[in-house]
């Protein structure tokens, strides 16, 4: 049985656009995952950090992997791009966040779903609402209800 999950994708080091597109391709080829949809790419300024602008997207997948296994697969894709975690919100070659995993709410030592800051970030909400306009964030309600609260965050949809 498969579960629908949403993955936030972002990068701001190196060729950020190429890194995001490669992550999408790696998700497409990931065993146990079927890529259902990918948002447009978006450019955003870093939040609580410094460095170049980010390129962001959201992927919608169906997966037979449990949430922890999916998280490990995402970390593997990040590592293939040389992801380092020197400090919180550090610039990154690639960042993959498990935003939603079905309608589950997960709070483990390694994973929190829904992603704890997803409703506070335009770079998550805009691409998420593009691929799933009616999506409900478990425990919080419709994702669209949070769009107005992030309207002041600069975000540009790329062609």
Query: Would you say how long the chain is, in residues?
Result: 159
Task: Please compute Rg for the chain using Cα positions.
Answer: 14
Q: What is the pLDDT of residue 91?
A: 60
Contact 120, 8 (CB under 8 A): no
Residues belonging to the active site: 83, 92, 95, 97
Q: What is the pLDDT of residue 69?
A: 98
In whole angstroms, give the CA distance from residue 115 to residue 101.
Answer: 10
Residue 54's SS3 state is strand
> Quick count: other Cβ atoms within 10 Å of Cβ 111?
15
Q: What is the pLDDT of residue 48?
A: 73
H or E element, residue 75: helix 67-80
Contact 57, 20 (CB under 8 A): yes
Q: What is the pLDDT of residue 82?
A: 75
Give the pTM: 0.93
Residue 71's SS3 state is helix
Which pair of structure tokens corresponds to residue 47?
């939040």
Contact 123, 41 (CB under 8 A): no
């Amino acid at each position: 049985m498969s579960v629908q999950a949403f993955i936030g994708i972002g990068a701001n080091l190196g060729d950020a656009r190429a890194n995001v597109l490669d992550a999408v391709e790696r998700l497409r080829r990931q065993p146990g995952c079927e890529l259902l949809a990918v948002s447009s790419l978006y450019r955003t300024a870093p939040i609580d950090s410094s460095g170049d602008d980010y390129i962001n997207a959201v992927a919608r997948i169906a997966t037979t992997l449990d949430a922890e296994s999916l998280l490990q697969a995402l970390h593997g894709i990040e590592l293939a791009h040389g992801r380092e975690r020197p400090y919180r919100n550090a610039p990154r070659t690639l960042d993959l966040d498990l935003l939603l995993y079905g309608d589950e709410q997960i709070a483990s030592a390694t994973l929190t779903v829904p992603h704890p800051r997803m409703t506070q970030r335009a770079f998550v909400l805009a691409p998420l609402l593009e691929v799933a306009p009616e999506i409900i964030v478990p425990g919080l309600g419709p994702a669209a209800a949070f769009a107005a609260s992030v309207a002041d965050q600069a975000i540009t949809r790329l062609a």
